[in-house]
Chains A and B, each alone.
Chain A
Amino acid sequence: MSLISRNIFRALIQGSQHVGKGVHTSAVNLQENVCHASQSISSLQSSAKEGRIKCTLIPGDGVGPELVYSVQEVFKAANIPVDFESFFFSEVNPTLSAPLEDVVSSIARNKICIKGILATPDFSHTGELQTLNMKLRNALDLYANVVHVKSLPNVKCRHHDVDCIIIREQTEGEYSALEHESVPGVVECLKIITAAKSERIAKFAFDYAVKMGRKKVTAVHKANIMKLGDGLFLRSCEEMAKLYPRIQFEKMIVDNCTMQMVSNPNQFDVMVTPNLYGNIVDNLASGLVGGAGVVAGASYSAECAVFEQGARHIFSGAVGKNIANPTAMLLCSANLLSHVNLHAYSKMIKNAINKVLSDGKVRTKDLGGQSTTKDFTYAIISCLS
């Protein structure tokens, strides 16, 4: 019975969303876009028909749906050949959430996904230690998280020209969800480090550096204290570094790394970190260039890529207020387009973002302006060319 009611709700909600979308798009002044990319065939999917590709879409919690909506508006206006397969997926709202298996199979089929942030409650009420995010990552083996922290034009920050890539292992380490209370009042939390996964992430980092033409990889660790666990991680990185004689390899202890990051972030190029350190450094670095609203990230498995914001905040205080900054989500979508070989569209969106930001007339609240999410989206759309 609950299943039926759930499906009714979902059908109704999705239906109303579609109506809403239609109304809005007709209001937007659609531009004529001359785009050369439509000539090229693009996809990782063999079933792509007429050059259109499918992408799984998870709006997420908090301001996620508003941001995703902004992306859809831009895609529609630019006439981008991507069809979204939308899933409501949430941990804090389990009754409405789509089952994990459906979402996983959709992503596995489409190989690409764009995802908002999922809220995770602070305490577990059911005894479940794994969050939904972790389950999704484990199911798809999305082991590598990449956050490209780059200064944006005309965004006032303490540091300029920051350009570093932070690569984080996200399927083991502190996030293994292995915790237990051996005696009342004593909780043990296991941090798992394996050679296979450490080598894999180290290789990913170096290969990414090669692909992006970077010069240096810094391994972030705390092997002076956790000699075995982080020691293994560090050793694996050193081992992999031998295969890349043309890329400089450096190591840095995580506490020093955070200090260096806030005082002299320009020294960093590519960084590779275990799970928790990566999370902290990601957020720290995002803060340096303008906060959660402007930094894009992506998670990779061997087969799939999930594009999501770099700093994971749901910004629940802004829900429905129309003030969230969609820049990060739009950058994610641009990265997604270049991942599936639609480079011209990707450039188009990136250029539009740069133009709007450098003009500085339309800014959302987090960047010191007064504009709304919608204003910003329309400003982007009017800059598409």
Chain B
Amino acid sequence: MAVRLFSKLKTLPEIRAAYASSAAAAAPVQLSDFDLQHKTPVIRKQQLIPKAHYGGRHAVTMLPGGGIGPECMGYVKDIFKYIGAPVDFEVVDIDPTVDNDEDVQYAITTIKRNGVGLKGNIETKSEAAYVTSRNVALRNELDMYAYVLNCKSFPGVETRHKDIDIVIIRQNTEGEYAMLEHESVRGVIESMKVVTASNSERVARFAFEFAKRNGRKKVTTVHKANIMKLSDGLFLETSRRLAKEYPEIEHNDMIIDNCCMQLVAKPHQFDVMLMTNLYGSIVSNVVCGILGGAGLLSGRNYGDHYAVFEPGTRNTGTAIAGKNIANPIAMINASIDMLEHLGHHFHADLLRTGVNAAINVDRILTPDLGGTATSTEVVDAIKRNISENH
């Protein structure tokens, strides 16, 4: 008895020390990106909304969008339930045929209060001039100025180039997508491309910070400043100026047409790429094509306060909707990005290993990647791999 008590006493200080350290750990030592976004000082005057994070669970807006969106979201929900991810989805459906903006405004409000969204591609069926693209409206309204596309090869997918690892960072709110067009004289239409110093600086800083935080070596600015000397010139100049603040990161620039050629010929020379809106759209689709098509990669939209995750290429895939052949990987990858952003690294890792094993080891691929599996078979393979690894 006495011996047992003695041993108990001896271990006591250690237990206490352990408790003390875990008490310090009670406040999250490493803040998740989600927490950081809710801590950053307000850059634009915005109403501060308390974060939707209760009892360890996050509320997230889900916008299924059109085409294959709803079925992919179904798979994501299914898998999240399976791995027990502490996320509650608030689903907002947007009717693509309606001409008014009510649904979109509501969706934007929900993202504002949840802070995070997961979205498919939202269709804008109306071609009336006064109806803006819903996707663009969403990004502008939430001021999500940076778009990040992680392009990393999956060894299990047959492609011309192997081991590609490029990050594309795209200015997301201005440039050619300023949506300022008018017909000055009959038959003459002018479309304005707007480049501002403040937005260029924000996205350039984002790119360099991203490179620094993720241990990247090089940032390439993509532009067409030889033709558009003022607008693209400003963008290029800003990134050159900021590059001086990050001497440890190499910086170079490349003209967009050359860049596309280099990408398909020698993609390994690129590390982090920084570009304006339209070029970003084109280049991300080129890289997605190189890596295996629209169904694999996931993109992230960041603002100062909000983050929205979506499949990397913005195609709705209406033609294959409902046929159970859509590739669910892109949406699942987007959901992994979202889990990382929220700080749920455990669940993100779980899901990532499941996806990697399903694609690279088991090689359960949908027809777009040259396989024969259906969407549900892919999802089942991921689940099976998760339970085997856990």
Contact = CB atoms under 8 A, between A and B. Distances in A.
Nearest to A43: B84
Contacts of B22: 105, 108-109
Nearest to A102: B19
Given A108-B26, A305-B56, A199 B50 contact: yes
B380 interface: no
Nearest to B90: A210
Interface in B109-154: 109, 112-114
B350 interface: yes
Contacts of B19: 101-102, 105-106
A73 B84 CA distance: 25
B246 interface: no
B52 interface: yes
Contact of B54 (A43, A144, A199): A144
Given A4-B9, A40-B81, A105-B26, A207 B55 contact: no
Interface string B1-32: 00001001100100000011011011010000
Nearest to A204: B54
A108 B86 CA distance: 16
Given A39-B387, A41-B386, A210-B90, A339 B113 contact: no
B314 interface: no
Interface stretch (A17-25, A61-69, A296-304, A322-330): A296-304
A320 interface: no
A280 to B, nearest CB: 24
Contacts of B55: 111-112, 298, 300-305, 339
B23 A105 contact: yes
B295 to A, nearest CB: 26
A109 B20 CA distance: 12
Given A7-B12, A39-B387, A207 B23 contact: no
A104 B19 CA distance: 10
Interface in B49-88: 49-57, 59, 81-84, 86, 88
Contact of B84 (A41, A208, A243): A41
Contacts of B114: 207
B23 A104 contact: yes
A158 interface: no
B60 to A, nearest CB: 11
A228 interface: no
B345 interface: yes
Contacts of A45: 346
Interface in A68-96: none
Nearest to B28: A303
Tell me what chain B mostly uses at the interface: helix, strand, loop, or mixed. helix
B113 A243 contact: yes
Interface string A31-46: 0000000011111111
A268 B203 CA distance: 48
Nearest to A101: B23
B53 A109 contact: no
A103 to B, nearest CB: 10
A40 B82 contact: yes
Contact of B90 (A39, A46, A211): A211
Contacts of B106: 245-246
Contacts of B52: 203, 207
Nearest to A107: B26
A108 B88 contact: no
Contacts of A199: 49-50
Interface in B359-390: 386-387, 390
B389 to A, nearest CB: 10
Nearest to A37: B84
A126 to B, nearest CB: 25
A340 B386 CA distance: 18
A110 to B, nearest CB: 10
Contacts of A304: 55-56
A41 B350 contact: yes
A341 interface: yes
A8 B23 contact: no
A245 B52 CA distance: 17
B53 A243 contact: no
A134 B76 CA distance: 40
Given A40-B81, A101-B19, A243-B49, A109 B59 contact: no
A297 to B, nearest CB: 13
Interface in A42-65: 42-46, 51
B55 to A, nearest CB: 3
A11 interface: yes
Nearest to A44: B56
A200 interface: yes
Nearest to A53: B84
Contacts of A144: 54
Interface in A121-163: 144
A200 B50 CA distance: 5
A51 B56 contact: no
Interface in B326-340: none
A300 B345 CA distance: 22
Among A11, A44, A104, A246, chain B packs the most CB atoms within 10 A around the CB of A44
Nearest to B12: A7
Given A41-B83, A41-B390, A245-B109, 19 more contacts: A8-B5, A40-B82, A40-B83, A40-B84, A41-B82, A41-B350, A51-B390, A101-B19, A105-B19, A106-B19, A112-B56, A199-B49, A199-B50, A204-B50, A207-B59, A244-B109, A246-B106, A304-B55, A304-B56
The 7 A-B residue pairs with the shortest CB-CB distance, nearest first, are: A305-B55, A108-B26, A46-B346, A341-B84, A105-B23, A42-B84, A200-B50
30 contacts: A4-B9, A7-B9, A39-B387, A40-B83, A40-B84, A41-B83, A102-B19, A108-B23, A108-B26, A144-B54, A200-B50, A204-B50, A207-B54, A208-B54, A243-B112, A246-B106, A298-B55, A300-B55, A301-B54, A301-B55, A302-B51, A302-B54, A302-B56, A303-B26, A305-B55, A339-B55, A339-B57, A340-B84, A341-B81, A341-B86
